[in-house]
Amino acid sequence: MKLPAKFRLRYASKLFASHLLAVFLISGSVGTFFYVRAMDNLMRSLRSRLQNSAALLSQSIDARELEPVRSAGDMNLPAYTAALDTMRRIRRTNPDIAFLYVMRLEGKRIVFVVDSD
């Protein structure tokens, strides 16, 4: 069955449409590839910066000084307030850090000792 003349595409139109589709597919594939690679590099860079910040922060706070902090009543101990001030100062100066806290392993539980919020 032949299509009516007004529905038939010329060979040049078919060739143009197929090349246009190929260009869109290739552009989309290449763009997606570079987007995924850029996001991966960005996340790797951010993770590295945060690990470096955590390493620097761990040098600023002595965990042995926080050993007496065991309950909410210990929040007015000098060691707690000094650690909290240090953590808040570091968090304000580094925009990559959203949360800072010190945790301790007690038996099989992990408990928060100091939270910058």
Beta strands in the chain (DSSP E): 101-106, 109-115
What gap in Å lies between CA 30 and CA 25, rounded to an integer? 9
Three-state DSSP at 112 gives strand
Domain boundaries, the chain: 1-60, 62-117
**What local confidence, expressed as pLDDT, does residue 19 receive?**
92
Identify whether the C-beta of residue 99 lies closer than 8 Å to the C-beta of residue 52: no
pLDDT tens per residue across span 35-79: 999 999 999 998 998 888 778 878 888 888 888 888 888 888 888
pLDDT at 4 over 80: no
